[in-house]
Structure formats: structure tokens, C-alpha cells
Structure 1
């Protein structure tokens, strides 16, 4: 079901909101979709919803549910969105879908004039409105799971603080999927025309985006944070000049120091693990002499507060 959120807008200024699929349980899963950024007058590498003649509302949500979400599949069978999947630890949760139609990785706060139109990059303000609306609508949520893939992963990491503020006293878990901050300055997504915002309390985030992991872990120490990726994430490897895997390998050592954070790095080159069945062989962790490990197992341990929840990776530390 589609819900308009007053004041929330796509890059072209059209109103937007949230897609909500009500569950039987009391947990809330908020998913921020992927998609590239609007960087030129035609948003030539951006998804259709963020372009001058685009937008995201009830019609676009229906297309997503039918299988075409800005050109990709977002709700595959046996994924976290499949309520009938036996391996889905979120099967009874209420699902919320947020589009990347602001064109700024969910972190912008700037109007930028292109020939013929002005792009309104206000993903950060949208997050504040979305978080406030859902906090008011679901005050009894037992747990909120904020997640997103690719651009949505960036948005989830850098807006986590807004959701913690909107749900005081509620555990807010974070699942970042396939866009880790492996470099200090984040050159692969930090575009000046968007005026990207960082958490106001994180004084180290702008000079070194990797410190957002420590900031978020300390912001809600009773919550759990998961970082998902694949060893040869082709999308990020390409835009970082094939340095992403080495950066991801080094990041693991940094993340090991955070007691409420674990990572899952699969074999292969898939981009956005949550857009696959949870037990897919395409996103499995395999190491010589060990049993294959599945994403469903990792997420189940996380959500069940299992003491056995541990990082799973095919990369050397």
C-alpha cells in the first residue's frame, strides 16, 4: 500500500512517500532501494524515477511489486521479502520500501540547476520526514531493521542516527548491503552537487567516512549492525578502479573491534545480496575445508540474538 509523506520529494520536485506491506508481527523492516545518482542534466546514469520526467508514487511501487523496480528486481522469491520462505527471519515483519528517487544516495541537501530544470537533492530531509512518519505510525514496534542495497546502503549508514532519534527506546538494527566505506573520502559516491550530509554528532565522518561504523555502533550499543558484501563486487570494483576488494579486506580488521557489528562477505561478484534468495549459491561463503555458510543463517543468528552470531567471510582478515 502506498502512503504519501508530506514534504518528501523526488529530484524533479514531485511528491513521494513510502510503500508499506503490513505484517502480522511487531517488527519493522525499512528497505532503501539501490540505484545510481543523478549527476547531469539527463540523470543519464540515474534510475528512471529520479529524472526530470520521473518520480516515484503508487504506480511505480506497483511496478516494483510486479518485478520491475527502476529496471531491477527488488522482491525475489525466497528473499527477505518472501513471507512464505522458511529461511526468512523477517517473514512476519511489516516491510517499508523507500525509493532512491531523490538521486543523491539519500544524503543530499541541495538544489542544483541543470539546463532546463533544477534538481532538488533532498534525500537527507526526506529521511527525516520518513522516520518521523513511521515513528508516529508504529510507536509499539519491538524492533526496527534499517537496511538498503548499494545506494540504499550508503543512505542507511549515514541516516541511521535519524531513525534512532525517531524511535526512542526501540532497538534499531542496521543491515548495510553492498556499498561499504572502504576509503576515507568516499570518492565513489560523494558528489559536491548533492551537498552530502553526515551525522551531526560524527565530527570525524566528513574527513574519514569509515568512522561512521564506530559512530553508529556507539550510537545504539544494544542494537546489532551487519555489513554484507561479496569479495568481487563488480559494481564497486569498477568505480573504484578495481581497488574495492582490497579495501573491503582491510575494512574487516577495523570492524572486528566493534562488539555489536558483524560482516558477511560472500564468494563471487554479486552486487546487493538481499536481491537474491537467502540460500542462493551465488551469495554463499565458502572457505577451503569448511562447510558453506548461508546468508539466511547469518541473519537468523543476528535477529535471534544468538551468541553464535559471528562474522562470515571468504576473505582473509
Structure 2
């Protein structure tokens, strides 16, 4: 017993020393700092609300090549459909580019007060303006292109089938969210790694860029997005956007935390501020005429003068909030849309296509212009 005791005591001392070295409370070393909380992903709130619920669910029934375009058709069923039940199609053109344009087409709107909307999705890519690689001076002539027709009357946001006469049969398929999600899945599969994206559209497709943005960002989380909204800039009247959201079952697109995203005046200016605040890899360019008659008179119903009185200060407010990432292009008159129909129209000596080109070049000469 006597000869073993020193070995026992030595082991005890070593054990205590080891415990002391591993326990910060027995030394003067401060505890390690806590790990920082990760930054939330852009538009995480919308994903929690289910805006991305149809991504990955639908694939085309057919994908057929015609010239340099591939037409992707989705067939019938519970997935993508046009307003009166027709087949939804979209198209892609691969030019081997590292850059990608996603274009959302226009074509009216359909709700309980007015139904005036395109009801079919034609195959192909229209050869007009920014969509035509042969257009002289087209800044995206060599880019890959995804063309999303519009045919459900809900500005790409709806998720509802409507039986107008209570006969148990669907009369309106307002499946804009399914159409949009399915088409963007095709885009991501066709062009998985673009270095940059131009997300653009005209009229209803201009409005649709707002709704496409969080889905595009979900599919391309790190890609810079340049968004050009042609003639869907969010000037409205009290209650109209709320009515759209309710009738089209589109509430997932409006963040619940943003009480003023739809203003009391009906405008979407604070919604656009929220988008810019969510995503610092995003720039916006908005385009309109002063008194766009299609929006001001036909669909919003406030008249050209009231539209103009709201348009200019709302665009100025957006630029003041995000002076490095927002610009506007406002032409005189009351015509509607530019990037297909009036690509050469100029404001203060700069044409539509030149202004978009300056944006894409990151030029200091990309400034807001107003006639």
C-alpha cells in the first residue's frame, strides 16, 4: 500500500490540472463569442407565406425545337392553364451566352369589374424590339432568352379557379402563379448558371416582374438581377390592388409585416422599396409615359392627369430612397409600352434601348429621364 500511494496522488494531481486547463471558469480566459445569426435570405417572409409553393412541381409535356427556339408546352390538368382552360406554353432561346433575359408578356387583366385579357399562349418568341436579336443596337441581342406568355388575366399572380355561374364547372382558370412557377423551373433547368439576369416585361408583364422577382431570386440566389418594368409601375387607386389580391388569391406575394406595401392611395411604391430593401443584388428601372391611357383610363380608371400627378412624385420618392439602385424613364404623351413597341423612342436624347444598355453597362450615365 505504501509504495502505490505516490503514484495514486500523482494521477490525481494530473487529473485536476487537466480539468483546470479545460475549464474557462478556472482561468482568466473569456468565453468564446456567440456565433452571429445568419442574415435572412431575400424574400424569406414570402417563402414562409408560400409564394414558392409550386416551384419544382410541374414539367412540360413536350419541348419542341423550331429554328433557334424551344417551345415548352404543359398540357392540361391541375397545373399551368390559360384563362379559359387552354394549354400554357413558354419558350427559350439558347445563344450560348453567360447572360439571361427573362421576359414577361402583357395582355390585360380579368377581375369581377372588368375582364379584358389575352386568353391564349402562342408558341415562339415575338420578333419585336428587345426580343429580336436582329434589332440594331439591341443591348441584349446575344443574351439567352426566356419568353413567358401571359394568358390568365391575373398579372402572373393568381391561384384560383372560378365558377361564374355556379354550375360546378370552372369558367376562369386564373393560375398565374402556377404558370409563372412552371415556366421559371424551365428557365432554371435550361440556363442553370447565368452570370447576370435581366428580368423584364411590359404592361401586365411589367406588373408581373414584381411577382416574378422572389421566385427568380429563389432559383438564382446569388445572381445579380437587373429589373426593367415597362408600363406596370404600380400607380393605382385606393382599394384596387387589394381587390386583385383577394379575388386572385395572391396574398402570398404581399409581406404580412409590411403594412404600407399597398398604400392608402393604392400605389405600390412602398412595396418596391421593400423589394429593394430585401435584395441588395437588385436594381430597378421603371418606364412609363406621363398619362399612359391603357393603365390610367382603362384599367385603373383615374384618368391621365391624376395618373401623371401621382407618377412623377412616386418615382422621385423611390429614387430618393435608393439613389444607387433605382432610375425612371418617363416619356411625354399617353402611349403604352416601349421595349417591344417603341424601342427607339427617346427622352432627352436617349432612346429606350440606349437607356437599358447604360443600365446593363453599369454606366454613370444611367440616370432618370423625364420629358
Q: Same fold (TM over 0.5)?
A: yes
Where 1:37 maps in the other structure, the secondary structure is strand
Post-superposition CA distance 1:132-161 (Å, at most 9, x none)? 332232112111111111111111112311
Cα 1:132/1:300, change in 2 over 3 Å: same
Separation in 1, partners of 2:325, 2:103: 21
1:236 to 281, 295, 303: 295
Q: Say whether residues 1:128 and 2:178 are aligned partners.
A: no
What is the 5 A alignment of 1:163-242?
A: 163-183=216-236, 185=238, 187=240, 190-191=243-244, 192-199=246-253, 201=255, 203-204=257-258, 207-208=262-263, 209-238=268-297, 239-242=300-303
Q: How many residues align?
A: 284
Match of 2:27 in 1: none
Match of 2:135 in 1: 85
Separation in 1, partners of 2:278, 2:262: 19
Query: What CA RMSD, in Å, does the superposition of the two structures yield over aligned residues?
Result: 2.5
Whether the 8 Å CA contact 2:100–2:194 is kept in 1: the answer is: yes
Separation in 2, partners of 1:167, 1:175: 17
1:267 to 328, 332, 354: 332
Cα 1:5/1:302, change in 2 over 3 Å: farther
Where 1:38 maps in the other structure, the secondary structure is strand
Unpaired segments of 5 or more residues in structure 1?
50-54, 66-74, 287-291
Whether the 8 Å CA contact 1:107–1:197 is kept in 2: the answer is: no
Query: How much does 1:26 deviate?
Result: 1.9
Query: How much does 1:308 deviate?
Result: 2.3
Separation in 2, partners of 1:120, 1:196: 14
Query: How much does 1:249 deviate?
Result: 1.3
Query: How much does 1:219 deviate?
Result: 2.9
1:61 to 110, 118, 123: 123
Separation in 1, partners of 2:364, 2:301: 36
Match of 2:207 in 1: 154
Q: Say whether residues 1:111 and 2:161 are aligned partners.
A: yes
TM-score (norm 1): 0.81
Separation in 1, partners of 2:288, 2:310: 12
Cα 1:226/1:189, change in 2 over 3 Å: farther
Separation in 2, partners of 1:126, 1:185: 28
Larger radius of gyration: 2
TM-score (norm 2): 0.70
Match of 1:285 in 2: 347
Q: Say whether residues 1:139 and 2:192 are aligned partners.
A: yes
Unpaired segments of 5 or more residues in structure 2?
1-69
Cα 1:189/1:147, change in 2 over 3 Å: farther
Query: How much does 1:11 deviate?
Result: 2.4
